[in-house]
Amino acid sequence: MTGPSPDRLDLRKKVRAVCDRWRRQARAYWAQIPPSFRSLLLVSASVGAIGLILFVIALLLLIQARQLTAPSIATITTPSSPVPLRLRIEKSTILSVVSLTVQRGGWSVPQARGGTAYWMEGTFVNLVFGLPDRPENRRLVEGLREGDVLEVEMSVGPALRFQVSGKQQVPPGDITILSQRRPGLTLLLVGGEPRWAVTASPISEILPLFTAMGRAPIGLPVQVGPTRLTVGSVELRWSGPGIPGDFVGVVIQFDLENTGKEPLAIEQFEMYLIDAAKRRYQPTILEGVALPAGRIAPGGTTTGLVAYLIPRNSTEGIIVWRFNPLPGRTAPVEVEFELPRPTPTPEPEALLQIEVQSAEWLSEGQVLLIRGGIGNLGEQPVTLEATEIKLIGTEGRQIRLVQASPALPWMVPAGRNLAFELQFELPAPGSLILQIGKQRFQIR
């Protein structure tokens, strides 16, 4: 047997020496404490130690209890709107439906997958489907005729049936066919040319689904409690009496029939507008539109208007009109729509139709003679100043105008034409650019 190594013995001696030194220092400090305080110090130390021990025990018990009672992770599902599952075309073709979201303003339909229709997620009023531009899909779409029936099997409720009402070729950038203002179905052939768009109108069986979803499509009647409601139209007023500059007026026209046994007071109806940010707006008075009021007798009908004022910056996105004839007693119905955007008014000069009829270089006078005409298609007169008539040569050099007939400036009345002649100083013919207003013409 071998004993401890010399290095280990030396370490033990060092540790023992350090401990002896600490013990002597502690005894010296203890001797300096007055005897009357020593008992108090011992009690405090004991209490502190006991408190630390109790704290550690409580912490361990708490951790153990959390582990024993920790709930298992559960998935909570909430009811959602029905979504399409299958698309049947004239009973002969059944396509499975895959939801496809719009990302960054684009809707990319995969081209490699057959037997599939892609549903533009979120289009509930006008269901939009895209078919990849494959030979079998092109034959299918081009073979559809007015009156053909399209059927959509939904995840909840009965199947929706539509009847083909039209077919047209549309440019890829046309988004008007995707409008959600009226119920229907739009079937697009995506990825090739020509791009076909098939539109279909709902058959009456679609109404129970809208009722179950609490929605009322524009133009179709829906039962709401003791009333039968038809929303006829939505009008947007960008200006007019009673409309502040930073607001717009929204006017909704509706027809009501009292199908119940008691008279109904219209002023007690719940009718308010909800913008895309979920802000609510109550009815207001606009020119020609009073606050909803009056009574409808059992079996009676009425046509009404209701108006709202909403900020201009709240007109984008889906707007909801909520209607309830008996608030708190029956379920409301909602009408979803998008407000039409204002048609931009073109500048008067943009409505000028300019034609250059001839350009002739006259060697005797070394001038270029240009003849043409200007038509004003707008409703306002347009004036062209001399600075708006230019002839530009090589390297951007502007050529001097010698004479204009009639003399500049030119005033073209609304709906009228003006014939003109221009003479420019030009020593030799060449390639030139004539600019009249914002329009340019190549002169050779």
CATH of the domain at 283: 2.60.40.1240
The answer on 278 and 237 residing in a single domain is yes
Residue 72's pLDDT is 33
275 exposed, middle or buried (CB, 10 Å; 0-12, 13-18, 19+)? Answer: buried
Cis peptide before 406 (omega within 30 of 0): yes
Confidence of residue 365 (pLDDT cuts 50, 70, 90): confident
Predicted pLDDT at 71: 34
Residue 130 lies in a domain: yes
Instruction: Region of 285 please: left (phi>0), alpha (psi -120 to 50) or beta.
Output: beta
pTM of the prediction? 0.40
Describe the strand order of the beta sheet including 318-324 as a list of residue ranges: 280-281, 270-274, 318-324, 333-338
pLDDT at 79: 37
- Residue 94 CA to residue 151 CA, distance in Å, equals 9
Q: Which pLDDT value is given to residue 5?
A: 56
Does residue 124 belong to any structural domain of this protein?
yes
Last residue of a domain, one of 184, 207, 230: 207
Q: Provide the pLDDT for residue 63.
A: 53
Domain carrying residue 396: 348-443
Query: Do 250 and 157 share a structural domain?
Result: no
Identify the pLDDT of residue 75. Answer: 31
Mean model confidence pLDDT for the chain: 80
What's the total number of domains in the chain?
A: 3
Statement: residue 73 has pLDDT above 50 = no
- Confirm whether 222 is domain-assigned: yes
356 with 438, same domain: the answer is yes
Same domain flag for 221 and 278: yes
Q: How many CA atoms are closer than 13 Å to the CA of 439, on its beta-carbon side?
A: 12
Is the model more confident about 118 or about 3? Answer: 118
Terminus-to-terminus CA distance in the chain, angstroms? 117
Task: Identify the sign of the CA torsion 349, 426, 363, 402.
Answer: positive
69 pLDDT above the threshold of 80: no
CA gyration radius, the chain: 41
Token pair for 131: 């078919």
Boundary (domain end) residue, out of 338, 369, 389: 338
In a domain, 74, yes or no: no
Condensed to tens digits (0 to 9), the pLDDT of residues 265-300 reads: 999 999 999 998 899 999 999 999 999 999 999 999
Confirm if 258 and 297 have CB atoms less than 8 A apart.
Answer: yes
3-state secondary structure of 242: coil
Measure Cα distances from 255 to 216, 231, 232, 402 in Å. 13, 6, 7, 69
Q: Is the pLDDT of residue 342 over 70?
A: no
The answer to whether position 26 is within a domain reads no
For residue 316, what pLDDT is reported? 84
The pLDDT score that the predictor gives to residue 68 is 37
Regarding whether 319 and 224 lie in a shared domain, the answer is yes
219 and 201 co-located in one domain: no
Cβ contact 248:284 at 8 Å: no
CATH number assigned to the domain comprising residue 172:
2.40.260.10
CATH code where residue 430 lies: 2.60.40.10
Q: Which range is least confidently modeled, 111-120, 125-134, 315-324, 380-389?
A: 111-120
Q: 322 and 419 share a domain?
A: no
Position 61 in a domain: no
pLDDT at residue 31, rounded to an integer: 64
Residue 283, phi-psi category: left (phi > 0), alpha (psi -120 to 50), beta (remainder)? beta
DSSP code of residue 241? T
Q: Note whether residue 149 is domain-resident.
A: yes
Residue 393 has pLDDT above 70, yes or no: yes
CA nearest to 268, candidates 233, 248, 236, 296: 296
Among 287, 317, 338, the domain boundary falls at 338
Retrieve residue 132's tokens: 């990849």
In a domain, residue 14? The reply is: no
Residue 219 and residue 170 in one domain: no
Q: Are residues 160 and 99 in the same domain?
A: yes
- 135 backbone dihedrals φ, ψ, rounded to 5°: -55, -40
Asked if 138 and 172 sit in the same domain, the reply is yes
Q: Are residues 202 and 218 in the same domain?
A: no
The pLDDT, as a whole number, for residue 4 is 55
- The verdict on 136 and 242 lying in the same domain is no
317-326 confidence digits (pLDDT tens): 888 999 999 9
